[in-house]
Amino acid sequence: MRKFLQVVGIAALAILVAAPAMAIDFQMRGSYRVRLYSADAYGTETATVATSPFVKSTPNARNQADIRFRPWFIARDDKGNLESGVRFEIGDINFGSAGGGGTGTDGINVETKWAYIDFQLPFGLPARLRGGLQGFYLPKGMILDDDAGGLRLYGKSGMVGYEAFWFVVNDIVNGGTQAVGGTLVGPANDDIDVYGAKVDLALGPAFNPYVYGVYRHGSVVQAVNIGTTPNTASSDGYWLGAGATGKLGMVVYDIDVVYGYDEPHLADGVGAAAKRRGWQMDGGVEFPIGPAAIGLRGTYASGDNAATATTNEDLPSLRNTPGTGSMGSYTPKGVQVFWNSNGSAYWRGGYASTAGNIWGIGGYVQYYPVKALLTRIAYFYAGASKSNTNFFTGKATYGQEINLLGEYTIWTGMKVWGFAGVFLVPSKGRAPGAEVDLKDAVVFSTGVQHDF
């Protein structure tokens, strides 16, 4: 990565030296959020009776407040040819639980989210290059919506938009270990490279399609053990996606399909791991009725039926440890209690963190009594696309979510909200050899957010 960024830096410096004197415009942007919530069944599903947040005997009620502050500083020349930026984050800090100090405010770390340089390519080429720490995103966050260090080439020519990118995944914190004076076991932090490209067409209001692909290249794990088992999570993976957005009359629609294939690398004679190959489809429509709007959503993600030990049919995650966590932020619109991801703004729990073995259908009605006030009621039914392997074993239904939202804009970019939601699960879950009593997830949340 260092060599790539050196090339970017040298190119940008050459442009600056060759260019005439210019004016520099400094901007500050960002967001600030204060959030308070009370929840029962707090946390992500663990698939274990002893720790699942939905098992009645698990004590996991949560009452807390937190903050998130993300300032973004930008320097840009007056012609828009060159831009540099840095973005920080203080968050998500729970009140009273930060390190040090009687009131829990000392020792709060400031994270560097972005630090990049972005410039127009010379010779009239219709593209820009951004290098450094930055955000990478693909439609709906179904595969990717995260920060990383790398390069991104992007631009538009006529109706065709295009981008290509490369970034590095830090894998040393996910299994790579090193004894003192010994050889690294597991991948080093520069051994997992992710490459991607996307092309979209702006054909008109009714139909705007796009296609994209991602390739993740992982290192082969060493066969020599130094006090630990080699990390078998390193793998090569491939993802393909296609979708479209548009407006037909008053109806706005979107549809996306993604497919992923992930094949782990194994040290000779060490362990075994399943290949992952799965897919997901997501789509919806929204249409206005006076000051109100009605939306309908549907999603389907393939699931594994545990028929073989060598193949898993869940949609693989782009994260370097296949199938655990996600580098995306996918959350169906209107769903906030069931889905646990970056897209859930009102609390930090939920059943699902990745789209695997899930199908769901739902809808929402939103209404503006006055221009500054949004009110919404939403419903979502979630089921298993294949037989379950957690404490819901044998249940075709995960549950149903119902939620209410009120959001009021005080000033431009500043809003307050009140939210209440419940995720209703079956009363009984079947664990191996026994049944367990389950409880519903209940969330109440309020807060203020300022985007500037």
| pLDDT one-digit tens code per residue, 23-53 | 889 999 999 999 998 988 877 776 677 777 8
Whether residue 243 contacts residue 200, with contact meaning beta carbons closer than 8 Å, is answered with no
Of 159 and 19, which is predicted with more confidence? 159
Question: What DSSP element (H or E) covers 444?
Answer: strand 441-451
pLDDT tens digits, 181-194: 444 444 444 457 89
Q: What is the pLDDT of residues 294-317, one digit of tens each?
A: 999 999 999 877 666 667 788 888
What pLDDT shows up at residue 264?
Answer: 66
pLDDT greater than 70 at residue 157: yes
| Residue 135 Rama label (left phi>0; alpha psi -120 to 50; beta) | beta
Residues 6+ apart with CB under 8 A from 102: none
Evaluate if residue 71 carries a pLDDT over 50.
yes
CA distances from 196 to 81, 129, 156, 203 (A): 24, 15, 17, 23
Q: Is the peptide bond before 78 cis (omega within 30 degrees of 0)?
A: no
Q: What is the pLDDT of residue 65?
A: 87
Q: Which run of H or of E encompasses 429?
A: strand 428-431
Beta pairing, strands 397-411 & 414-424: antiparallel
Of 101-105, 254-258, 325-329, highest mean pLDDT: 254-258
Q: Which residue has the higher pLDDT, 278 or 275?
A: 278
Q: Are strands 311-312 and 275-289 parallel, antiparallel or unpaired?
A: parallel
10 Å CB burial of residue 364 (0-12, 13-18, 19+) is: buried
Contact 301, 276 (CB under 8 A): no
Q: What is residue 36's three-state secondary structure? A: strand
Report the share of the chain in percent with pLDDT over 90.
43
- What does the CA dihedral 97, 100, 105, 106 come to, rounded to 10 degrees? -150
* Tokens, residue 252: 């706005």
Specify the residue for token string 């830090």. 170
Per the confidence metrics, is the pTM higher than 0.95? no
Mean pLDDT across the chain, nearest whole number?
Answer: 80
The dihedral region occupied by 262, where left means phi > 0, alpha psi between -120 and 50, and beta the remainder, is beta
- Digit-coded pLDDT (tens) for 398-418: 889 999 999 999 999 999 999
- Amino acid in position 357: N
pLDDT value of residue 226: 35
d(CA 217, CA 235): 7
Nearest to 297 by CA among 240, 366, 352, 230: 366
Residue 286 or residue 111, greater confidence: 286
pLDDT category at 337 given cuts 50, 70, 90 is confident
Distance of CA 426 to the CA centre of its chain: 28
Please report the pLDDT score of residue 179 as a whole number.
43
pLDDT in tens, 239-248: 999 999 999 9
Token couple for 62? 């949560």
Greater pLDDT, 125 or 218: 125
Tokens 């069944």 belong to residue? 41
Residue 6: pLDDT over 70: no
pLDDT above 90 (res 273)? no
Q: Answer whether 46's CB lies under 8 Å from 55's CB.
A: no
**Percent share of the chain, pLDDT over 70:** 71
The Cα 264–Cα 225 span in angstroms is 18
Cβ atoms within 10 A of the Cβ of 337, count? 29
Whether the predicted pLDDT of 329 surpasses 60: yes
Note the pLDDT of residue 242: 98
What pLDDT shows up at residue 354? 66
The pLDDT, as a whole number, for residue 285 is: 98
List Cα–Cα distances, 66 to 60, 152, 259, 341, in angstroms: 18, 33, 36, 17
How many other C-beta atoms lie within 10 A of the C-beta of residue 51?
12
Omega before 451 cis (within 30°)?
no
Q: How far apart are CA 96 and CA 78, in angstroms?
A: 44
Residue 282 has pLDDT above 60, yes or no: yes
Whether 206 shows a pLDDT value over 60: the answer reads yes
CB burial of residue 262 (10 Å; 0-12, 13-18, 19+): buried
C-alpha span between 438 and 110 (Å, rounded): 39
What is the predicted pLDDT for the residue at 357? 82
Q: Is the pLDDT of residue 271 over 50?
A: no
User: Rounded to whole angstroms, how far apart are CA atoms 10 and 13?
Assistant: 5
The rounded Cα 116 to chain-centroid distance in angstroms is: 21
Q: Over 90: is that where the pLDDT of 12 sits?
A: no
Q: Per residue in 342-395, pLDDT tens?
A: 545 676 666 666 677 889 999 999 999 999 999 999 999 998 887 665 666 666
Structure confidence by residue, pLDDT tens digits, 92-136: 777 766 554 455 566 566 889 999 999 999 998 999 999 999 999
Distance CA 207, CA 202 (A): 8
Give the pLDDT of residue 176: 44
User: Residue 380 has what pLDDT?
Assistant: 95
- In this prediction, residue 360 carries a pLDDT of 92
